[in-house]
Chains A and B, each alone.
Chain A
Amino acid sequence: MSMDRREFIKIAGLTSLFGAGASGAFQLLEPGVLDASTHEEHGHGDAAHGQAEEQASGPKVRWAMIVDVRKCEDPEVVKRIVKACHTAHNVPDFGNPKDEVKWIWADTYEHAFTDSANEFMDKGIEHLPFLLLCNHCDDPPCVRVCPTKATFKRPDGIVAMDYHRCIGCRFCMAGCPYGSRSFNWRDPRTVLKGKPPNPDFPTRVRGVVEKCNFCVERIWKGLQPACVEAAPNVLTFGNLADPNSNVRQILRTRVSMRRKPELGTKPSVFYLV
């Protein structure tokens, strides 16, 4: 079910072109800027023109994740996924809930879908672990409330964090209805000692917020997110903006759910039960 590699590299290349051409990763970019900048690549096209065209067609890339929950039944699968992510991103493990930092983790259906649970529920679903991560919402409340633009939405839909910009006010944590954000209450580097940290991803300092970034640093290189790589039959990552993409094909044929749809945030993480 994993994504066609050619398609993936094509899109990834496009996003990295954009990344190199844009005026810096922490600038807030409206949808449409992506196309404007690709226009510029091809002979300095008029940006305003590019934007107008863009509005008609929508963004070309909109990353999304599909979680096939029934395939998570084996606790080893969940463990493998969480470990792949947390190792790749040097996520600290303090071993206590108070200081906890997590990017992806599992919880029950009842906790993940607070408004959809019922007491007569299918016992099979009740005991399934639901993988929870940042939903990379279309209309992310965390981005709306951040006073420094330290958290921002990229044109490809990824809600990203600039750890150097973050002042640690934790307004995004109050704003996130999905509890997807963690704060470095303590120095995260102290618990990475002993383990060799992944040199490909920066460690954080204390006092900043962090969360899942859809492995933007791997997509850049044409790789799949670390969690998808760890369990390609469980997780599917792809481009929602392309009607023929792997994710769109699945969503066309299977019944899927998103968390708290009534809040209007439009999550990009879908669950198949």
Chain B
Amino acid sequence: MIEKALKGEPRYWAWIFFLLSIIGVGFGCYLYQLSYGLGVTGMSRDVSWGVYIAQFTYLVGVAASAVMLVIPMYLHHFKKYAKVVIFGEFLAIAAVTMCLLFIIVDIGQPARVLNVVLHPTPRSILFWDMVVLNGYLIINIIVGWNTLLADKKGVPTPGWVKPFIYLSIPWAISIHTVTAFLYAGLPGRHLWLTAVMAPRFLASAFASGPALLTLLLLLVRRFSKFDAGFDAFQTLAKTICYAMIINVFLLLMEFFTAYYSHIPGHIHGLEYLFFGLHGYDNLVPFMWTSAILGVIGIFLLLVPKLRMRYDLLAVGCGAIFLGTYIDKGVGLVLGGFVPNPFEGVTQYYPTFPELMITLAIWGIGALILTILYKIAISVREETA
């Protein structure tokens, strides 16, 4: 099937070469980082994780969201997702690959990364994160590829794939739960030390991932003959909307706990993000943008008349994608670090090489996604 990725219009190739050029620039920056060290980034002793780990955290959510299609399709036989679920699985493959790449570029000694496998440490959550992420990647490759292969041949998905499909459901939950545990179990980091971290991660994931998927399917609908179908779009939009409402609800819980208990340490993280702490407020405009985008997104997807218009559906999904991205891909990591263990404030600004490397990894994700979607669309167009 892979040959289908090698045939395309000039527009397709232009896009591929555009992505390759971004990847090339980022790769150059990565070589620079390898030779100089992580000193090329804006990270410091106080803010020791930055944009890389933030992207990783966000993309784990995008990857986990495939389950929002797999559950209706395979547990409830919701046939309207039959042609769409593969796109969710391929998005998961691209997202997990990006997650793993973000870990690699964030590590100070990438050549030693196998130490995690050579010296397995079950008490470290990072060990389990490695296990669940790689497992999820393999499961999705197995399921996605074989489903598409069966589609192409016009036969039902082979029986041996079924157990993997069912396994992918709890596994998807596990990847984001374990990623939340990376943060939630750390003493002295008040913003992260919260029991709703994992539930909130899942809620925001089930909003942001399907929102991205909807945007991608709208693009596919526009640029190819494949249409996911009105009903599939509407159901996806409802999933996104409810997940986002739960996400906002859980965020409000955090505000209540911090501000009603009035414990200074618990307030500081939220204060820094949303109001500014001791005059440091570089994230305040971002966090309020995120909050406003979340509300706009919920409104557009909640009201049926608005949701049914494809343009407003796109705006709503875009708002939620961007809103959750700012919240988790920017605010979460920095909010935990910036009021530091000495109750001081060290702000963080990513550097140019850091941003280019980040962009390149998104480029690699987009490239993987483009190729996989190209194959899937070609198969769909043939069998349509």
Seen from chain A, the residues whose Cβ lies within 8 Å of a Cβ on chain B are: 97-102, 107, 110-112, 114-115, 141, 144-150, 165-171, 173-179, 182-187, 205-209, 260, 263-265
A165-B115 contact in complex given A145-B124, A187-B37, C-beta closer than 8 Å: yes
Check: B195 CB closer than 8 A to any chain A CB: no
Which DSSP category, helix, strand, loop or mixed, fits chain A's interface?
loop
Which of B108, B183, B185 is the one whose CB lies under 8 Å from A168? B108
**Additional pairs, 20, CB under 8 Å, beyond known A114-B343, A148-B115, A183-B45:** A97-B44, A97-B45, A98-B42, A102-B45, A112-B342, A145-B186, A147-B127, A166-B112, A168-B107, A168-B112, A169-B107, A171-B124, A171-B182, A174-B337, A179-B46, A183-B38, A184-B37, A187-B37, A207-B109, A265-B187
A173-B187 contact in complex given A145-B125, A185-B43, C-beta closer than 8 Å: no
**Is there an interface contact between A170 and B108, defined as CB atoms closer than 8 Å?**
yes
7 closest A-B pairs by beta carbon, nearest first, are A168-B108, A177-B188, A207-B108, A206-B37, A185-B39, A186-B39, A111-B342
B190 to chain A minimum Cβ distance, whole angstroms, is 10
Question: Which chain B residues border A99 with CB–CB below 8 Å?
Answer: 39, 44
B25 to chain A minimum Cβ distance, whole angstroms, is 22
Seen from chain B, the residues whose Cβ lies within 8 Å of a Cβ on chain A are: 36-39, 41-46, 48-49, 103, 106-110, 112-113, 115-116, 118-119, 121, 123-127, 130, 182-183, 185-189, 265, 336-337, 340-344, 346
Which of A146, A179, A264 is the one whose CB lies under 8 Å from B341? A179
A253 to chain B minimum Cβ distance, whole angstroms, is 30
Which of A115, A144, A208 is the one whose CB lies under 8 Å from B124? A144
A110-B37 contact in complex given A167-B107, A168-B107, C-beta closer than 8 Å: no
B36 to chain A: closest residue by CB:
A186
Give Cα A260–Cα B42 distance, bound, in whole angstroms: 29
**Is there an interface contact between A173 and B124, defined as CB atoms closer than 8 Å?**
no
A107-B342 contact in complex given A167-B109, A171-B126, C-beta closer than 8 Å: yes
B178 to chain A minimum Cβ distance, whole angstroms, is 12
Which of B130, B182, B341 is the one whose CB lies under 8 Å from A177? B341
**Is there an interface contact between B188 and A263, defined as CB atoms closer than 8 Å?**
yes
Which of A115, A170, A183 is the one whose CB lies under 8 Å from B265? A115
B271 to chain A minimum Cβ distance, whole angstroms, is 15
A128 to chain B minimum Cβ distance, whole angstroms, is 15
A25 to chain B minimum Cβ distance, whole angstroms, is 14
Give Cα A102–Cα B340 distance, bound, in whole angstroms: 16
Question: Which chain A residues border B113 with CB–CB below 8 Å?
Answer: 167
Give Cα A166–Cα B126 distance, bound, in whole angstroms: 14
A93 to chain B minimum Cβ distance, whole angstroms, is 13
**Is there an interface contact between A146 and B121, defined as CB atoms closer than 8 Å?**
yes
A175-B186 contact in complex given A146-B124, A169-B106, A184-B37, C-beta closer than 8 Å: yes
Identify the interface centre among A112, A115, A173: most chain B CB within 10 Å of its CB. A173
A148-B119 contact in complex given A167-B112, A173-B48, A177-B187, C-beta closer than 8 Å: yes
**Is there an interface contact between B109 and A166, defined as CB atoms closer than 8 Å?**
yes
Identify the interface centre among B41, B113, B185, B187: most chain A CB within 10 Å of its CB. B187
Give Cα A30–Cα B121 distance, bound, in whole angstroms: 15
A179 to chain B: closest residue by CB:
B341
Give Cα A205–Cα B111 distance, bound, in whole angstroms: 13
